[in-house]
Amino acid sequence: MREPTIGRLAVPGAELHYEVRGAGPPLLIIPTGNGDATPFEPLANLIADRYTVITYDRRGFSRSPLLSRVETHRRLADDVADARRLLERLAGTHAYVFGSSSGAIIALALLEHHPRHVRALVCHEPPLASVLPDATRWLDFYADLYIVYRDRGPDEARRMFRSRMGMQESTRPPKAFEQPPARLAEMLDRLRRNQVFWFEHEIRTYPAYRPDLAKLAEVADRLILAGGNTSREHFPYRPNVALAERLGLPMWHLPGGHVGYVTHPVEFAAALTGRLPSP
């Protein structure tokens, strides 16, 4: 395992925990709805021989504390601004970006609003309900999920979410990539707390985000729309299909399902580095 350089970046209203590994062109990994860098650690270590990999905890999650009151309606804009600030501090110029799930929504908005910072973006399974023909159905699901969280608690809401997203199978890493017990327990405790924050402040707004397709079309040569090999029948795969049709782009497939970077890290890393433009 590569020992990262760990740092903190002060941003308006928060402090961001970040980790930097490797050497080569910078590649920023934007975390998912759990907001935590650690699940991406195996992937980051595997590609750090070719890229300077930047991982971080999103504001309000894990080791990135908020210093002011949460403004739910500004969460996505703040996440985009945080990603831009990390690139400006750690990448120097523009960088490769990989975002998965909620992180892919942030990454799309980053490309839309700050294209000069993005050399190429791999957008992996964004749950962007707004671009689907049946958008209302899925936005209603997220509204119902929030009600279940408030009325019956995060555990019941998590079960509802995983079932609807097609995540009933194991999402554990291969044995060789498992965390030591104490570190695993620490991470899982963070993720449980993060999930409450995510239910409270993101599940209703991030899927409803409406990207500016005209702006994305102008930079479509930098956009790689990706889905999991085993998740084609599930909701998180569908928004990129809709985006691919509207932007005239192909779909590209990565190993595994919605969290293939966890369940198939070696294969995922090889496919990712093989698809990105040469450093």
> Which domain CATH number covers 27?
3.40.50.1820
Report the first-to-last Cα separation within the chain, whole angstroms: 22
pLDDT of residue 248: 97
By DSSP bridging, strand 52-56 and strand 14-21 are antiparallel
**Distance between CA atoms of residues 80 and 95, nearest Å:** 14
Handedness of CA 91, 97, 100, 101 (dihedral sign): positive
Reported in sequence order, the residue ranges of 22-146 that DSSP labels E, i.e. its strands, are 26-30, 52-56, 95-100, 118-124
Confidence at residue 93, expressed as pLDDT on a 0 to 100 scale:
75
Between helix 154-164 and helix 181-201 the angle, nearest 10°, is 90
The H-or-E segment that residue 190 falls in is: helix 181-201
pLDDT averaged per 10 residues in sequence order, the chain, 279 residues: 89 97 96 93 96 97 94 94 97 92 98 96 97 96 96 93 79 88 91 93 96 97 96 95 98 95 96 86
Return the SS3 of 242: helix
The number of folded domains in the chain is 1
* Residue 53 pLDDT: 97
Burial 224-251, CB ≥16 within 10 A → b, else e = bbbbbebbeebbbbbbbebbbeeeebee
Angle at 237 between CA 231 and CA 242, to 5 degrees: 150
- Residue-range definition of the domain harbouring residue 76: 5-275
Instruction: State which H helix or E strand residue 5 sits in.
Output: strand 5-11
CA distance 121 to 168: 28
Largest CA distance in the chain: 50
Return the pLDDT at 208: 97
How confident is the model at residue 279, as a pLDDT?
65
Q: Distance between CA atoms of 269 and 275, rounded to whole angstroms?
A: 10
Q: Say which amino acid occupies 102.
A: S
